[in-house]
Amino acid sequence: MCAYNLFRSTQPDGLLCAVPEERSVPPFVTGPLWKFDGRVDGGREPPLGFDGKAAATGVRFNGFYLFAGFRKSGPDH
C-alpha cells in the first residue's frame, strides 16, 4: 500500500481526502475548510471508511481519494 496524506474537512460532512505522498495536494484541500489529519501507511491503521482499492482507483482517475470518514463512538455511560 502506498502512503497517503490525509486531509479532513472542517465541516460536519465527515469528508476526508487521501493524497498519495508523491502527488500534489489538490487546490481545494489547501483552503480554510480543510486541515491536515495525519498519514496512512503500512504502519498506521487507516480511518474507518478508508478503502484501499477505492483509493487506488480514485487516485488513478483524480489524483486523490475522497471518502466519508467515521469515528468510533465510545461506550455509553
Which amino acid belongs to residue 23?
Answer: R
Say what the pLDDT of residue 72 is.
65
Q: Please, which residues have CB within 8 angstroms of residue 76's CB and are 6 or more apart in sequence? A: none
Instruction: Provide the mean pLDDT of the chain.
Output: 88
Alpha helices in the chain (DSSP H): 52-62
CB atoms within 10 A of CB 63: 13
Count Cβ atoms below 10 Å from residue 53 Cβ, excluding itself.
7
Query: How is residue 21 written as a grid cell?
Result: 505522498
Break the chain into its structural domains and give their ranges: 4-68
> In terms of pLDDT, which residue wins out, 17 or 2?
17
Quick: pLDDT tens for 29-62. 988 999 999 999 877 788 889 999 999 999 999 9
Give the Cα separation of 66 and 19 in Å (integer): 9
pTM summary value = 0.85
